[in-house]
Amino acid sequence: MAQRGRAAGVTLVLNPSPAQPMPDELLRGLDYLVLNERALHVLTEGTGDPTALLDRGVGSVVLTLGARGACLVSRIGVGDVAPFRVSSVDSTAAGDAFLGALAATLPERGIDGALRAASAAGALATTRWGAQAALPTIEEVDAFLERGGAV
């Protein structure tokens, strides 16, 4: 399926959950592999080195770091995504909010804008209780960004 998507010009984003070892055939050609630190260690056989995934054919690795933000690792280098400071009450939906906003905004905003929106969405999700009910809308994310990250 990844090969078909690639042939059609689709940007391929994968967040393997639960984390488990993956064959190179699946990783090869992915544009973005989105991982938390635990998944990074699983997919790198304990080394925690995201460049090992680039060597296996992944275009870029997006590493989510919770309250410490995120980072983008590519062949060009490493870019940090600063976290937004919010009053967190529940982190249950943070990863899903991050991934959803990243995938939804990537086509129009490019990777830098998408990572900023994803970081904002993840932060906003932690200010609410629950999972699905905590997910912010794109309008809420954009308003949060317009306010400079203030809730």
The residues carrying an active-site annotation are 96
d(CA 118, CA 136): 11
d(CA 9, CA 127): 36
Separation of CA 40 from chain center: 12
d(CA 44, CA 51): 9
Q: How many helices (H) and strands (E) does the chain have?
A: 6, 5
Six-digit token string for 60: 């870029």
With beta carbons less than 8 A apart as the criterion, state whether 101 and 118 touch.
yes
With beta carbons less than 8 A apart as the criterion, state whether 56 and 24 touch.
yes
